[in-house]
Amino acid sequence: MEIAQKRNLKQVISLTGCFKMIVMITGDLGSGKTCMLTRYGCKASMVKDLCSNYHYNNVPYDKFDMVDLYVNKPDLKNFMICADELYTFMDCRTSMSKRNRLESYFVLQTRKKNVDLYFTAQYSELVDSRLIKFVSIWIKMENIWLKSKTTGLLYKHPYLFLATFHDYRKSDNINVFTRKFDGRRWFNEYNTDEVIYPPEDIEYVQEALKKKSSSKK
């Protein structure tokens, strides 16, 4: 492997210094998706502003608020957005809804600024196809199974996971490689039991837009 390619793979694993990235993390329940997402969020918070739809315990972040994004359109330059369970509001089954059209437009605009979007989903099929087309890195998470010496039964490793990286940034040369991921460092950075709820209804957003428009008159 050439030195330049080795350096590129190392950068993909750390994803430090990568900008205008859309990174998708998929895997079964309990496979380390949110843990991996939290790792990148914590690292990015040292050099960029962090925006998240779930709680970080020990690093500064702004709560991901769809109404604020639509109504106030804040300047998100040099931001990293972490969206856990993104399909709660970009479900492929309703890809033609007004909400998805607005959100898809916002996501695609991130590529024109110094903004990264990292998100998780259990399956890629659950996410709007328009977003999938722009994914830079796809990380597929898996559990590591062990066999009990006493019972002979299989059980999941409590903190080690397998992460397979698919680098699509060069369409003519897709890099695929697998690494073990140790989640112990990141478990205390977020609440593993937090439930991600869908954002406010689009009708609420539209009403907020009307109120803002009328207040300017």
**What is the residue range of 66's domain?**
3-215
**Chain segment 182-211, per-residue pLDDT in tens:** 999 999 999 888 877 665 554 555 565 566
- What is the rounded average pLDDT of the residues 44-55? 89
- What is the rounded average pLDDT of the residues 145-161? 93
CA of 6: how far to CAs of 2, 12, 131, 175, 182, in Å? 6, 10, 28, 11, 21
pTM above 0.75, yes or no: yes
E strand or H helix that includes residue 49: strand 49-52
How many domains does the chain divide into? Answer: 1
Cβ pair 141, 106 in contact under 8 A: no
DSSP reduced 3-state for 187: helix
Q: Cα separation of 90 and 44, whole Å?
A: 24
Q: Cα separation of 125 and 93, whole Å?
A: 9
Which CATH number characterizes residue 170's domain?
Answer: 3.40.50
Q: Which residues pair with 117 in a beta bridge?
A: 22, 81
Regarding predicted confidence, which is higher, 160 or 4?
160
DSSP reduced 3-state for 155: strand
Chain-centroid distance, C-alpha 32: 13
